[in-house]
Structure formats: C-alpha cells, structure tokens
Amino acid sequence: MTFNDIFRSSFLENAGSFAPMDFLLAMALSFALGLFIFYVYKKTFNGVMYSASFGISLLGLTMITTMVILAVTSNVVLSLGMVGALSIVRFRTAIKEPMDIVFLFWSIAAGIVLGAGLIPLAVLSSAFIGLVLWIYVNRKNVAPPYIIIISCCNEEAEQSAVVAVKAAVRKHLLKSKTVSPGNIEITMEVCLNNNDSGFINGISTLAGVENVVMVSYNGEYMG
C-alpha cells in the first residue's frame, strides 16, 4: 500500500464520475413530466377540497424518484444500501381519494423510468395515461345518487314521506330503518330528476315529519 492509497477517497472518486449533462437532462424531463402529471390531476379532480400541496408533491415526487434512480443505477452497492434505507420509511398521511393513489404511483413510475434512461417509454406512457384519465375520470354515465334521512314521529308520517319521495325521484331504494319510542328514522338512496331537490322542502312540511336531511352518496355509506 502506497502513501497515495492511504489518502485516496472513494467519495471523491464517485464525485468525479458524476455526469452533469445526464443529470440536467434527466431532471429537466422529470420536471416536465411532473408538471404534466400535476396538470392532469388538477383537471381531473372531482372532490370538494382541492389540495394544491398534493399536486405540488406529485411534481417533487417525480423529480426525487429520478434522482434516486440515477444514483442507484451508477453503483450496485449503493442500490443495496438504498433499498435498506428506504425500507425504514413510513408514510402516515391518509389517502382520501382512490385516484390519489393512482397519481402517486404514476409519479413514482415516471421517475423510475426516466432515471433508468428509458425516455421514450416515460414520455409516451405518461401521455397515454394522461389521455385515458382525462377521458374516463370526467365522464359522467349516471346521475349522482343521494341519501335522504327522514325522521318521523309516527307510522302515518312515514308512509306520507315515502310516497312523496317516490313521486319526486327517478329511482329510490330503502337502505335502513330505525324505530324507537316516538320516533321512526328511514334512510333512502335516491336518484333525482334533473338534480331537483325542491321536494325536500315539501316533505319537511308534512304532518309528523320532524327532520329531513339529504346528503351526497359517495359509495362509502354502510346501510
């Protein structure tokens, strides 16, 4: 072992093998794809509370994944260490919408493919995925269902309310019924006619009807 071997730094050797042009090209493309994913997410969002921070995180996730893959592909030993380091990461943020998972995986996959140098695959597949989401996410085939909760004080009021609901909606389905002394509560799933909810006001004025509530039904109700 010579004197130069003692002071030789593998860290500096790895820094010398770094290719700035490859890094700039990969990061520029990941930034562009991240912006495209963010734009598709913004245009296809159907929820009530839009989160701008989640959209920006899609952009950052694409670029960070690309950076990690660039480092992993340059060194086999580093790739093994990276797997061990990332295995201890735990994410505690709850995913509120199923489509958010799709966009998260899309960002990660785009970053991985770009970092691996498969630029045409990353660009073409992202364009195809964006087009499919753009077409099908905003497509409305059926009218949105609603849940109506009616609280009555007797059986006669219940029958009158059910008849009024059947006459005013296109489709209806009894989901649940709760009976207690002096109170009857029924829950119905309905599809409105031309999104007309004015009949709710009429039901609330029926004799024996104490309370009427209508809420949007997202499929998570357990009846």
The pTM score is 0.61
Amino acid (1-letter code) at residue 83:
V
What is the tens place of the pLDDT at every residue in 126-165?
A: 999 989 888 887 665 556 788 889 999 888 888 888 888 8
203 vs 205: CA distance, rounded Å: 5
Mean pLDDT of the chain: 78
**Based on the number of CB atoms within 10 Å of its own CB, is 13 exposed (0-12), middle (13-18) or buried (19 or more)?**
exposed
178 vs 184: CA distance, rounded Å: 6
Q: Pick from 30, 16, 215, 17: which is nearest to 126 by CA?
A: 30
Two tokens, residue 26: 């990969």
Report the percentage of the chain scoring pLDDT > 70. Answer: 74
Q: Pick from 62, 107, 68: which is nearest to 85 by CA?
A: 68
* Residue segments in the chain with a per-residue pLDDT below the cut of 50: 1, 3, 6-7, 220-223
What is the tens place of the pLDDT at every residue in 96-113?
A: 677 888 888 889 899 888
